[in-house]
Chains A and B, each alone.
Chain A
Amino acid sequence: MSKFTGVVAVILFFILLSFPFIYNSLTVGVLNSVSATPQPKLEKQGKCIRDTDWMRHNHMNLLKHTRENTVRNGVRVTMDSINNCRSCHSNRKEFCDSCHTYVGIKPECWNCHIYPLHGNDKIKNHG
Chain B
Amino acid sequence: MSVDRRDFLKLGITLAAGTMVGPAGFALSNVSSHANKTNSNDSLINKWGMVIDIDKCAPNCNSCVDACRKENNIPDFSNPELDIHWIRKVKFKQKHVPEPTERSLPAMCFHCEDPPCAHVCPVEATFIRKDGIVLVDKHRCIGCRYCMVACPYKARSFVSKHVNPENANNPDVPVRMHGVVEKCNFCVHRIDVGKDPACVEACHANGGGGMQFGKFNQNDNGILKVVRGGKAQQLRADLGTNPKVYYVGI
Contact = CB atoms under 8 A, between A and B. Distances in A.
Touch A–B, Cβ below 8 Å: yes
Interface string A99-127: 00000000010111111110010110011
B168 interface: yes
B174 A114 contact: yes
Q: Which of A74, A78, A117, A120: most chain B Cβ within 10 A?
A: A74
* Interface residue tally on B, bucketed by range: 20 to 34
Contact of B175 (A67, A78, A112): A112
B103 interface: no
A121 B139 CA distance: 28
A76 interface: yes
Contacts of A110: 165
B72 to A, nearest CB: 12
* Interface residue tally on A, bucketed by range: 20 to 34
Interface string A53-80: 0000000000000010001111010100
Nearest to B189: A76
A71 B126 CA distance: 11
Nearest to A120: B171
A91 to B, nearest CB: 14
27 contacts: A71-B137, A72-B129, A72-B135, A74-B129, A74-B130, A74-B131, A74-B133, A74-B188, A76-B192, A83-B172, A86-B171, A108-B177, A111-B177, A112-B174, A112-B175, A112-B177, A113-B165, A113-B174, A114-B165, A114-B166, A114-B173, A114-B174, A114-B175, A122-B171, A123-B171, A126-B171, A127-B171
Given A114-B175, A116-B166, 18 more contacts: A67-B139, A72-B127, A72-B129, A72-B135, A72-B137, A74-B130, A74-B131, A76-B192, A112-B138, A112-B165, A112-B175, A114-B165, A114-B166, A114-B172, A117-B166, A122-B171, A126-B171, A127-B171
